[in-house]
Amino acid sequence: MKVGYCVVNYSEKPVEEVVQLAAGKGYEAVEIPSYGDNGQIDSVDMLKGNNASNLRKMVEKYGLFISAVSNHADSLLVLGPYGVDTDSICPGTKEEKIKFGTESILRSAQLANALEVPVVIGFTGIENFGHICDWPYSKGWADEEARFVERYVPILDKFREYGVKLAFEPHPNNLIYDTWSAKRCIEIADNHPSLGINFDPANILVSGINPERFVYELGSWIFAVHAKDCEIVEHDLAKPGLMMQGEWGRPDRSYRLRIPGWGSVNWKGVITELYKAGYDYVISYEHEDTTMSRVDGLDKAIGYLKPLMIHAPYEGRNDKLFSM
C-alpha cells in the first residue's frame, strides 16, 4: 500500500506546486480533481493535444503517480438534489443539471483514460434523501434506485469502454451512504464491473457504522480509499446524536472530521481488513480537519500513516511451533 495526497487540499495552489510539496513530505501518489471550477485542473483543456500526457509526466518527474481522478462535485447532479441546493455547482433547470453532471463524469472517465489512471471517484447524489424514511411515501427509495439504474448504468457502460472504474464515495445525502445501500446499488446495477466504492472511513463512522465491518462486507468492490478520520466527541454526543446540523467548525459538534490518527477510526484495524480483502493500492490523505492547519495535516498524516502501510503478504512459517 502507498500513501497518497489529494491535491485539492491546496486548491488555491497550482498542481505542480502541490505535487512538489507532497513529494517532499514523502507522499507517493496524488489524486487530482476534474469537476468544474476546482481551481487546478480544467478537464476540457486537459483532453486537448498532449496536455494529459504532460500532466502525467510532470507528476512522475517528482517520483509520484496519479492514483485517481476526483469528480465529487459535478457527479452529484446525475441524481440530484436540484434547485437551490446545487446552484453553486450548476445553475439551471433539473434537466440542465442532469446533463451537466452526466457530461462532466463522462469527461472524467476520458481524462482518466488519457492519464492511464484506473479510477474516477464521485458521489451518486440523490434527489430526495428524505426517502430513507418510508413515510409518507413508501415507494420513495425504490424510485431513487430506479433513477440510479436509468442514469448511471449507461454511464458505467461508457466507463467500461474507457477501461476505467467509477468508485462512489458513501456519504450522507447520497443514494450510497452505508453498507446496505452500497451493496444494494451494486446489486441493482447487476454487479457492473466498472462500479465500485471509494472507502472513506470518516464518512462511514459518522453514520454509526463500523469501518472494519464495511471493508469486510464490500471487499473487492473497494477501488479507492481516502485517509480521513472522524472524532466522535463523547461529551457532546448525548445532546444531538451523530447526525448534527450546522457548520463543520462549530465547537460543540458531536463529531469532528480529523486528520488520520486524531479521531476515532481504528486505522490499524482498517488497514488490516483492507489488505485481507485484497486492497493493495493507494490511501489518499484528504484534509477536512477544522481544528488544525493544512500544514499540520500535511506533516502529521504522512508521519502517522506511512509506518502502518503493509507492503507484502505474510511469507509463511513452518516449524514445530507454528505451521501456516
Q: What are 28-75's pLDDT values in tens digits?
A: 999 999 999 999 999 999 999 999 999 999 999 999 999 999 999 999
Give 11's pLDDT tier (boundaries 50, 70, 90).
very high
Dihedral angle sign, alpha carbons of residues 73, 194, 279, 63: negative
Q: What is the pLDDT of residue 207?
A: 85
- Whether the pLDDT of residue 237 is over 70: the answer is no
> Rounded CA gap, 248 and 231, in Å?
12
Q: How many CB atoms lie within 10 A of CB 30?
A: 24
The DSSP bridge partners found for residue 166 are 120, 195
Q: Are 308 and 271 in contact (CB under 8 A)?
A: yes
Cis status, amide bond into 136, omega within 30 of 0: yes
- Predicted TM-score of the model (pTM): 0.95
Residues whose CB is less than 8 angstroms from the CB of residue 312 and which lie 6 or more positions away in sequence, other chains included: none
Distances (CA, A) of 235 to 142, 212, 239: 38, 24, 9
8 A C-beta contact, residue 250 and residue 241: no
Is residue 115 pLDDT above 80, yes or no?
yes
Question: Is 251 a residue whose pLDDT tops 90?
Answer: no
Query: Which one-letter DSSP state was computed for residue 318?
Result: B
Cell numbers 440510479: residue: 148
**pLDDT given at position 242:** 66
- Those residues whose C-beta lies under 8 Å from the C-beta of residue 13, and which sit 6 or more positions away, are 21, 40
Asked if 33 and 4 count as a contact pair (C-beta separation under 8 A), the reply is no
Q: Residue range 106-125: average pLDDT?
A: 98
For cell 464491473, the residue is 193
Q: Please choose, from the candidates 100, 101, 141, the residue with its C-alpha nearest in 3D space to the C-alpha of residue 122.
A: 101
pLDDT at 322: 80
- CB burial class (10 A; 0-12, 13-18, 19+) of residue 177? buried
85, 26, 69: which is closest to 198 by C-alpha?
A: 69
- Residue 240 confidence (pLDDT) above 80: no
Q: What is the pLDDT of residues 252-308, one digit of tens each?
A: 777 889 999 999 999 999 999 999 999 999 999 999 999 999 999 999 999 999 999
